[in-house]
């Protein structure tokens, strides 16, 4: 190969490094889910998130979501085009329920009010599991729900902070003060397997293989199993639970906007929680 090839080689090296972004202590690949969810689509999904009625007004911009996704290159980039769109729709549906400001007669319907809150209102406890010695609670801190997926409990804040480059036990307020970190915690939770739970990502892209024990308690793949992973202890195994139905309502609306079907097993009413 002659010397004329060297500029091309240097260009390839430059392009390779240019798609890596160092942020919060981790390398983030500039994946392009923006080709699947444009700003216009994002704004059509979250019609009211920046209304004055929403406490999280201006906290969840499109650019923060896209930048956060770059730290999780498999998100929205695994499987067929339909699978990729469905996963993004499912993620947005779950975080919409967790942060909803909607009500049955709300303008544009109850499923147009996602990302209205950035932290839990009137928490019933400080969400500290004092028996967890690996991620001990810091005095005076409340590990209540924060961010798009309402990250809760010290055993979630600690690992999330470690993975994303901040002190999740002592500086957990960053999740409700920094929109980029907020979206990253939600995506971290979505992408991370926590035994015996699979990751939400693997469930939505077909990577979940149920064990015999899972099959015995009807933990079959689908959006309902994702709900089980996120909050099954409170919502699953209950016929016609309103919270589960709210999650499904968001997913059905978003799936239509992404022009995909929802897939089977939308609820978890007959599933045993993990």
pLDDT tens per residue, range 86-105: 999 999 999 999 999 999 99
Is the pLDDT at 15 greater than 90? The verdict is no
> What pLDDT does residue 178 have?
98
> What pLDDT does residue 251 have?
98
Is the pLDDT at 6 greater than 70? The verdict is no
Under 8 Å between Cβ of 137 and 121: no
> What pLDDT does residue 164 have?
97
How many angstroms separate the CA atoms of 267 and 241, rounded?
A: 9
> What pLDDT does residue 9 have?
38
> What pLDDT does residue 32 have?
81
Per-residue pLDDT reduced to its tens digit, 19-62: 343 333 445 766 689 999 999 999 999 999 999 999 999 999 99
**Annotation marks residue 193 as catalytic:** no
> What pLDDT does residue 84 have?
98
pTM of the entire predicted model? 0.90
> What pLDDT does residue 30 have?
62
User: Which residues does 252 contact at the CB level (< 8 Å), separation at least 6?
Assistant: 111, 262
Per-residue pLDDT reduced to its tens digit, 39-50: 999 999 999 999
How many angstroms separate the CA atoms of 47 and 53, rounded?
A: 12
> What pLDDT does residue 10 have?
40
End-to-end CA distance of the chain: 58
> What pLDDT does residue 31 have?
62
Is the pLDDT at 14 greater than 90? The verdict is no
Phi, then psi, of 168 in degrees rounded to 5: -70, -15
Is the pLDDT at 194 greater than 60? The verdict is yes
Per-residue pLDDT reduced to its tens digit, 167-182: 999 999 999 999 999 9
> What pLDDT does residue 27 have?
59
CA distances from 108 to 44, 48, 103, 176, 268 (A): 11, 9, 10, 27, 27
User: Which residue in 98, 119, 120, 235 is the catalytic one?
Assistant: 98
Q: What is the DSSP string of 172-215?
A: TTHHHH-HHHHHHHHHHHHH--BTTBPPHHHHHHT-----HHHH
Side-chain-side CA neighbours of residue 253 (13 Å) = 24
The structural domains of the chain, ordered by start, are 37-117+193-274 (1.10.530.10), 120-178 (3.30.20.10)
Percent of the chain past pLDDT 90, that is, above it, reads: 88
């Amino acid at each position: 190969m002659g010397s004329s090839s060297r500029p091309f080689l240097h260009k390839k090296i430059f392009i390779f490094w240019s798609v890596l972004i160092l942020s919060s202590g981790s390398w983030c690949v500039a994946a392009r889910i923006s080709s699947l969810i444009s700003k216009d689509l994002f704004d059509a999904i979250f019609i009211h998130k920046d209304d004055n009625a929403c406490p999280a007004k201006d906290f969840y911009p499109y650019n923060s979501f896209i930048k956060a996704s770059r730290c999780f290159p498999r998100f929205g980039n695994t499987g067929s085009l339909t699978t990729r769109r469905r996963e993004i729709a499912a993620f947005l549906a779950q975080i919409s329920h967790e942060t909803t400001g909607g009500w049955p007669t709300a303008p544009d319907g109850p499923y147009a009010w996602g990302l209205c809150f950035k932290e839990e209102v009137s928490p019933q406890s400080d969400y500290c599991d004092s028996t967890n010695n690996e991620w001990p609670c810091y005095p005076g801190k409340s590990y209540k729900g924060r961010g798009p997926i309402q990250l809760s409990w010290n055993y979630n804040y600690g690992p999330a902070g470690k993975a994303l480059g901040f002190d999740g036990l002592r500086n957990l307020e960053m999740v409700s003060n920094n929109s980029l970190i907020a979206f990253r915690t939600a995506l971290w939770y979505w992408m991370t397997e926590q035994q015996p739970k699979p990751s939400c990502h693997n469930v939505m892209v077909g990577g979940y293989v149920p064990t015999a024990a899972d099959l015995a308690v009807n933990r079959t793949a689908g959006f309902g199993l994702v709900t089980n992973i996120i909050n099954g202890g409170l919502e699953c195994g209950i016929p016609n639970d309103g919270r589960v139905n709210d999650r499904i309502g968001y997913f059905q609306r978003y799936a239509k906007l992404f022009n995909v079907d929802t897939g089977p097993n939308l609820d978890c009413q007959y599933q045993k929680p993990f």
